[in-house]
Amino acid sequence: MISRLIKVVLFSLFFSNIFTQTYWVKYGWQVFQNAGDARIHALGSAGVADIGTSISPLFNPALSKTSAFHKLSYTHQSRLAGMINSDLIGFSLSTFRKPINVILLYEGLDQIPDTRNILLDFGIDGIPGTGDPGENNGLLDEGERLDTKKIKYFTQKQFGLHLSTAWDYKKYQVGIGLKNLFHSIGEFSSTGIGIDLGLLASTWKNGKIGIQIRDVTTSWQVWNNGTIERFKPTVTIGLAHNHTFKGTKLSVNGAIDAIIDPYIVHSLANNLYVFGINAKYDNRIAVRLGRNKVNSTTIGIGLSWKEISLDYAFLNEPLSSGLGSTHLVSISISPNLLLKFIDKI
């Protein structure tokens, strides 16, 4: 199924490139860039080689083959003091020849003020149509004012779909992810498509190395006004290692990712690395710490039972950003628990 969709995507990209003019941009797929569950965000989003939940294929499609015990996951994220809200649902399907992982994403920002038409650009004398200095120059000059009654409000919404699968190739797990984006902002809207590739290998005892190439074919957004935006590929290389202390129920997993972003000239101090540490006791209680790509400290906790797990993450954004803090709450359940609940209704 995914292979057929990929052929359609490549065919569409080829003919779009022939007949249309495109622009290279840096932003536009934020619903995917900001996505993740509370567990992975608490670990600084270092998830390329980390086996976690049904959300993990967002960070490496090769993880689609290693399905988590809790196969259904829901996450709510609140940023900018509740102005931006995001929701994410992920689940795995095992009824196909190869595993299929499905992730649904949403991000919305309401009540954005539109101030484009509030300037009374009448010039210095404040009277329209006189042609005096400053009239209709688009600047707030002396004698002019703003009409706050003309402020209008609009919304921005992004909906995303991520489908992925994986298979074994020699000693590796190889994965591919197909993603689709619908973006609306005010009266404008766009649709986008893209492909991610992933690789996962167990190169030493209790250790893994992973590689993700995001937007490998360059992802696209086609707007209803005719504008086409393209996004360059990003490569992330990750390492993860798990250590269990003998004679105890305590284990520690550490993960680190190196991000190769074509838009950023990297140095050791320029957001090149993200990392996370996950300490678990009896596979039931987890304490997490990390650092993400904007140099924010991330912390979180997790509680897990036989058929359900709860996770919380707190992201302390840099003071200079003015973004405040971010809270995430995730719940993951097994399909068996869901079926039991449905039977009781």
Which is nearest to 160 in space by CA: 271, 58, 70?
Answer: 58
- Look at residue 15 and tell me whether its pLDDT is greater than 90: no
Read off the amino acid at residue 329.
Answer: V
pLDDT at 82: 65
99 Rama class: left (phi>0) / alpha (psi -120 to 50) / beta: beta
Q: Determine which of 25-29, 104-108, 203-207, 212-216 has the lowest per-residue pLDDT on average.
A: 25-29
| Nearest-angstrom CA–CA distance, 264 and 328 | 27
Q: Are 176 and 61 in contact (CB under 8 A)?
A: yes
pLDDT at 267: 45
Compute the average pLDDT of residues 122-130: 70
- Look at residue 181 and tell me whether its pLDDT is greater than 80: yes
217-272 pLDDT tens trace: 888 888 888 888 888 899 999 999 999 999 899 999 999 999 988 766 554 444 58
Compute the average pLDDT of residues 120-146: 70
| Nearest-angstrom CA–CA distance, 251 and 120 | 65
Specify the residue for token string 């149509």.
129
pLDDT at 268: 44
Domain boundaries, the chain: 2-115+151-344
CATH superfamily, domain 2-115+151-344, is: Outer membrane protein transport protein (OMPP1/FadL/TodX) (2.40.160.60)
Q: What is the DSSP letter of 36?
A: -
Which is nearest to 59 in space by CA: 88, 98, 84?
Answer: 88
DSSP string, 311-336: EEEEEE--GGGT--EEEEEEEEE-HH
How many C-beta atoms surround the C-beta of residue 201 within 10 A?
Answer: 17
| Nearest-angstrom CA–CA distance, 12 and 249 | 53
- Look at residue 46 and tell me whether its pLDDT is greater than 60: yes
